[in-house]
Structure 1
Amino acid sequence: MYQKARLGKTDLYVNRIGLGANAVGGHNLFPNLNEETGKDVVRTALDNGINFIDTAFIYGPERSELLIGEVLKEKGNRQDVVIATKAAHKLVNGEVVMDNSPAFLTESVNSSLQRLQTDYIDLFYIHFPDENTPKDEAVGALKKLKDAGKIRAIGVSNFSIDQLQEANKDGHVDVLQSEYNLFKRDVEQEILPYTEKHQISFVPYFPLAAGLLGGKYNKESKFEDIRAKNPLFQGEAFERNLDKVEQVREIANAKNAEVAHVVLAWYLTRPSIDALIPGAKKPEQVTNNLKTLDVQLTADEIDKIDRIFRS
């Protein structure tokens, strides 16, 4: 299944369902990952029409980029794939700090090029803002790398509206990636109107809210991982959230679809959300994510889902 969309003002066209590759070599994020399975995830994506792969230096660290680079070299179809990666994390005296300085971003792009075994990166993000670097100066460094042909598009991630406006002072930002899902909708207030006005694509991460919007949990579900401290999964709030998910299930059942497919399809109706990057730990999850593109929501269904999560 393939639906093509343009990212912002760029010349990059991607399948509206991409692949978030933080579980490909992301050993610091997920325990007991099998790297060969991770490479199979990437292969499955490429073999099934997904041409938008999202990774980052910090996934591993470095391992995700390295594994994706191996698959790209093996497949030999680099020109058909849109690769996005990110950097900002820097180790200083044993602690990770954010660095958006032009020197660090330039070094990061060059290092990512080596790990990905390519001579250009399609979309390069500043992963997190730092406390010191003027945002337009950081983006200006990426513009120089774009002019040099090392990157094709400029992204920022986890930027507030003020930081985004500063970063985009010269109109060079093409894509913003930040957290957004039906339980966390604060970007709808200022950020989505800004990205729509300025032709900046918005790519949400955590679209299924740590799995809660996937429709797999019930009131007896117990959690011993990071979700155990997530307010969405606590007590009465968890029960209220499950009730909302069950209302989406009614729509999904009528379409012979999964809750996750309906939720992801709803995001694709939002202004400036041109593509999604759901993750996958197994190849079959990649092909399952693509079923989102089979879901067609009516205007009434779009409005109903909106109301469910505003109540």
Structure 2
Amino acid sequence: MVKKNQLGKTDLYVSPIGLGTNAVGGHNLFPNLNDETGKEMVRTAINNGINFLDTAYIYGPEHSERLIGEVLKETGNRKEMVIATKGAHKFVDGKVVFDNSPAFLKESVESSLKRLQTDYIDLFYIHFPDNDTPKNEAVGALKELKEAGKIRAIGVSNFSIEQLKEANKDGYVDVIQSEYNLFKRWAEKDLLPYTAENNISFIPYFPLASGLLGGKYHKDSTFIDGRAKNPLFQGETYLKNLEKVEKIREIAQAKDAETAHVVLAWYLTRDSIDALIPGAKQPDQVMENLKTLEISLSQEEIEKIDHIFHN
């Protein structure tokens, strides 16, 4: 049995390794996805103790939520699962805009409930901030939905520290999801101290930095996707980054483990990081992610990893 962690101050208890499902039905994000493979990944997660699934309206759009809803219906264990989804994207004249207005957020929750075939969402995030809505008003709308039993916890995603403070003016924010990995540690400056102080759970995305922290690349690797333009993968920076990853690999090899698992285990030692949501493209990758929970890091190893990526 996978031991569960409490998400901040909520009554949600989740497997520390969840499943990010942007490759479950996210045909607008990845080429050549197969819906049945996506559903099988969700089944694999559920059957192996993962109870935390992270999706969003924009994955598809809408399709990821639908596929997850179909699997939940089929497996019949909705009550054991913690389902997180997100809204804010709106199509206007074929273009995407962000809308945090109370009316739109309430409409988004109702639409997600239908696609997920459920009568409540465990964790609903405002996916991106808009430029107009006061953030405490946006969160206030979610508080009303929480009181009505439509959602169980309130999240925000991609909010700056100023936006988070405004959103949490009344203490209603339970979770923030934001970019954080060993190469991009800006969240340590203000977001992580604030979340720790306010008992808000911090869920990092891109934890493996587009695979760079997974230890699978070398100096002659070539990239034709988004990585080709990513500064982490450019010239001298890329070579220095590989040297850092190599030092993690040494720690991993001593444990007979994968580099990625050591990196993910390190995040779980950080204050207010209660769970991770690594993605997967195949069911066997879901199983691979779970191996993170077999890793135990000593205080010395935790500090060593910290030091490697501070230089």
Q: What is the rounded CA distance, in whole Å, between the counterparts of 1:258 and 1:83 in structure 2?
A: 28
Aligned partner of 2:284 in structure 1 is 284
Listed as ranges, the matches of 1:129-144 within 5 Å are 129-144=129-144
Matched-pair contact (CA < 8 Å) for 1:136–1:167? yes
Structure 2 residues without counterparts, runs of 5 or longer:
none
Q: So what's the TM-score if we normalise by structure 1?
A: 1.00
Aligned-partner residue type, residue 195 of structure 2: T
Q: Please tell me whether the aligned partners of residues 3 and 293 of structure 1 are also in contact (alpha carbons under 8 angstroms).
A: no
Provide the secondary structure at the position in 2 that maps to 1:91: strand
Deviations 1:212-258 (A, max 9, x none): 00000000100000000000001111100000000000000000000
Please name the residue that 2:242 is paired with.
Answer: 242
Task: Supply the AA of the counterpart residue of 1:305.
Answer: I
**Are 2:221 and 1:184 aligned?**
no
Work out the CA distance in 2 between the residues paired with 1:225 and 1:146.
Answer: 40
Map 1:53-72 onto structure 2 (within 5 A).
53-72=53-72
**Counterpart of 2:84 in 1: which secondary structure?**
strand
Amino acid corresponding to residue 256 of structure 2 in structure 1: N
Shift of 1:2: 1.2
1:302 alignment partner in structure 2:
302
Q: Quote the Cα distance in structure 1 between the aligned partners of 2:133 and 2:174.
A: 19
Residue 153 (structure 1) aligned with residue 145 (structure 2): no
Cα deviations by residue, 1:141-179 (Å, 9 ceiling, x for unpaired): 000000000000000000000000000000000000000
Query: Helix, strand or coil for the counterpart of 2:86?
Result: strand
Query: What pairs up with 1:62-101 in 2 under 5 angstroms?
Result: 62-101=62-101
What is the CA–CA distance in structure 1 between the aligned matches of 2:63 and 2:227, rounded to whole Å?
A: 25
User: Hey, what does 1:15 align to over in structure 2?
Assistant: 15
Once residues 277 and 121 of structure 1 are traced to their aligned partners in structure 2, the CA distance between those partners, rounded to angstroms, is: 17
Deviation at 1:3, TM superposition (A): 2.5
Gaps of 5+ in 1: none
Q: Which residue of 1 aligns with 2:50?
A: 50
Q: How far does the alpha carbon of each residue in 1:52-108 deviate from its partner, in whole angstroms, 9 at most, with x for none?
A: 000000000000000000000000000000000000000112210000000000000
Identity, % of aligned pairs?
75
Residue type of the alignment partner of 2:23: A
Task: State how far apart, in whole Å, the 1-side matches of 2:249 and 2:180 are.
Answer: 20
- Which of structure 1's runs of 4+ aligned residues deviate more than 2 A? none
Give the letter for the 1:197 counterpart: E
